[in-house]
Amino acid sequence: MSDESQTNAASPNSPAAGSFDAFVGPHLPVLLRVAGSLCRNSHDAEDLVQDTLIRAFSGLGTFDGTYPRAWLLTIMRNANINRHRRQRPGLLHDATDLAGEADRRNPPEPSAEDVAAAHTPAPWIADALGRLSPRHLQVVQLVDIDGLTYDEAAAALGIPAGTVTSRLHRARHRMRAHLNHDPDFRSEHR
């Protein structure tokens, strides 16, 4: 049973279980794309979305019917955390492993190579992405490449929307500062 269904009261506005496939269908491409950003390989990404669907179905009665994509992304984030816990059970109760705990609480961050390999961007974009920190790269990927809103990216990462905004704006600012010296960017632009 999902974390969501255990902690929330039943909602009268939740979608009917029999229409679950119609309810989640429009969101599957985004879920799979974001899972790909979180998991780094397509097999794990599909497994994560499967896990998310099963958890969402279990918790459907407690969903209030608003912001379904953000709700599904929150479930996906929790499912991803649980997958990492299962893969590293020995570290769960080690109070001294603060770095490990922080790692488990946050989805794995992609490297610039992961993003480049997945999306084959233009060389000048790949170069600018490669100069970002993993945290900045992650929000650029979720918002500017995967197409999430700030709130949806916040749900997927488990951080405040304001943090998404500040990271995203800083990342774009740094990319622009770098691209100002790139002849390919300039030649097509001015």
Separation CA 157–CA 139 (nearest Å): 9
- How many Cα neighbours within 13 Å face the side chain of 154? 12
Task: Give the nearest distance from C-beta 94 to other proteins in angstroms.
Answer: 27
Q: How far is the CB of 119 from other proteins (least distance, A)?
A: 4
Chain residues in the site for other proteins (CB under 8 A): 1, 17-22, 24-25, 28-29, 31-33, 42, 45-46, 49-50, 53-54, 57-58, 118-122, 125, 140, 144-147, 150, 165, 168-169, 172, 175-176, 179-180, 185, 188-190
In the chain, which residue ranges form alpha helices assigned H by DSSP? 3-7, 20-24, 28-39, 42-58, 68-87, 98-105, 112-119, 123-130, 134-139, 150-157, 161-179, 183-187
Nearest distance from C-beta of residue 100 to other proteins, angstroms: 27
Residue 190 CB, nearest distance to other proteins (Å)? 8
CB of 144 to other proteins, least distance (A): 4
What are the residues whose beta carbons fall under 8 Å from the beta carbon of 11, sequence distance 6 or more? 61, 62, 63, 64, 65
Alpha helices in 26-94, H assignment, sequence order: 28-39, 42-58, 68-87
